[in-house]
Amino acid sequence: MRMAVPVCQGRALQLVGLCAGMLIMLLIILCLLILDTRPELDDSPGASPEFRGTPNRLLQQIVRPDEHDPAMRQLVLSTRDIETVAVWLLARRQTEGRIQCGTDAPRLTCQLSVRLMAGVPLFLNAAVNLEDTPESPRLLCLRLGRLRLATGWIRTVLEPLARLAGFGHYLRLWEQRVTGLHIRQDSLHVSLLWKDEWLDLAENWVEDWVSRERYLIYQRALHRTLAASNHTRFVRLGHLVQALFSLARDRSRQGHPATLENAAVIRALNAHVNGRNRDNDRLQVLLRGRVDTARHFLAAAALALAGNGEFSHILGLAKELNDTHGSSGFSFVDLAADRSGLVFAKVATATETTARIIQGLLSQSPDEARFMADTRDLPEHLAMPDFASPEYSALERLIENRVAALAISGNVTASSP
């Protein structure tokens, strides 16, 4: 009898080990069936044409009042809208994904490819097929990788996966607010109990998506330009400006707001030049032959985009005062770069007319004299200047006059904002 307990314990451990091994094997088989090393969809959809306009106009097109109940709203989403919203939701989770939808009333088909981990070639490819009924659409088929799920298992599998991926909040919102869902010709009609504050929230979401997508377009274009460069250590800012503003001009001709395109160009350039990894980049960016001038110019331009033009001027001045206590000293060259960058951003985003003029001008050549004041004779490495002195005032006026004479200034006054 004394040996019975150890024998029972040994058999229990064997049983636990066997169950654990079977579970691990089952998970491995599921992973092999569900996951893939290549995405089925290669191209990510951009924003639908409606997303090129203002968020208010977009929401007016999508959100429609219910004729019978003032507390209800109808969301009318085209397949392009569904694709855009889905990619935006993935982007908010910092997940790379592609989606493609199509309708053949009364059916809606969606195909999805999602990268499970940044930098790792591991993808979840999925497809879902819905058919409209008088009550609501029913799921005809759900495919995860090479695994096709029976209709009864679809809800059981989808909900845990959605919650695990961080979309539990959206599921709860759907359950609480959505009262109807139907497929009509080439669009999906969603009936929901409406909250007035959702309009402001949705507008912020749309602005966030459009701004992020636009920025990423120029970030990728910048990386392509740098990769194609024949330079080994340095690249002129003028070449990058010409490449990106040529793209901005082309996109504006397609209907994208020129002011927003130009702002995205400036943000992408500033993120590259003044970002965290600026000193580790293969190519250093030069303006008028200097790295520090490019950094000053773009930092001031980025601050001006945020409505902090005067702050950028003060910050640049404060930085120069701080430098008087270091080895570099006070520099009127850096102040000229600050001032040029501020005016550059102001003119490039002032109005649609001036924005398009700037696009046409800067896409013609890489000439940096069009947007950066001449600094060759400006003093630097100075001790603390006397701001009330005639010499300081004269140099400040000289910089202002040179900035005002830049080709980008045109008929726009180059005074402080």
- The answer on 291 and 154 residing in a single domain is no
- The answer on 384 and 266 residing in a single domain is yes
Residue 22 counted as domain residue: no
- The answer on 154 and 268 residing in a single domain is no
pLDDT for residue 22 is more than 50:
yes
Q: What is the pLDDT of residue 362?
A: 95
Domain's final residue, options 147, 164, 194: 194
Higher per-residue pLDDT: 36 or 75: 36
- Residues 217-226: what's their mean pLDDT? 90
Give bridge partners of residue 127 from the DSSP assignment: 111, 143
CB of 123 within 8 A of CB of 35? yes
Q: Using 50, 70 and 90 to split pLDDT, how confident is the model at 391?
A: confident
- The answer on 247 and 118 residing in a single domain is no
Q: Worst-scoring range by mean pLDDT, 81-85, 122-126, 260-264, 342-346?
A: 81-85
Q: Using 50, 70 and 90 to split pLDDT, how confident is the model at 241?
A: very high
Higher per-residue pLDDT: 27 or 47: 27
Residue 23 counted as domain residue: no
- The answer on 397 and 272 residing in a single domain is yes
- The answer on 159 and 298 residing in a single domain is no
State the average pLDDT for the chain: 77
- The answer on 170 and 238 residing in a single domain is no
Domain's final residue, options 160, 194, 228: 194
Residue 413 counted as domain residue: no
Q: What angle do CA 55, 219, 274 make, to 5 degrees?
A: 110
Residue 190 counted as domain residue: yes
Tokens of 43: 């191209």
Q: What is the pLDDT of residue 54?
A: 42
- pLDDT tens-digit profile of 252-275? 999 888 999 999 999 999 888 887
Q: What is the pLDDT of residue 276?
A: 56
Range of the domain at 397: 214-404
pLDDT for residue 57 is more than 70:
no
- The answer on 185 and 227 residing in a single domain is no
The total number of structural domains in the chain stands at 2
Residue 12 counted as domain residue: no
- The answer on 270 and 183 residing in a single domain is no
Tokens of 75: 């969301």
Helix ranges, 228-351 (H) = 237-253, 258-274, 291-305, 309-323, 332-348
CA dihedral 329, 333, 335, 337 (to 10 degrees): -140
CA distance 297 to 315: 12
Q: What is the percent of the chain with per-residue pLDDT over 70, rounded to a whole number?
A: 69
Residue 180 counted as domain residue: yes
- Residues 178-206: what's their mean pLDDT? 71
- The answer on 161 and 79 residing in a single domain is yes
- The answer on 175 and 230 residing in a single domain is no
Domain's final residue, options 148, 164, 194: 194
Give bridge partners of residue 382 from the DSSP assignment: 330
CB of 233 within 8 A of CB of 284? yes
- The answer on 291 and 320 residing in a single domain is yes
Residue 26 counted as domain residue: no
Q: What is the pLDDT of residue 262?
A: 94
Residue 409 counted as domain residue: no
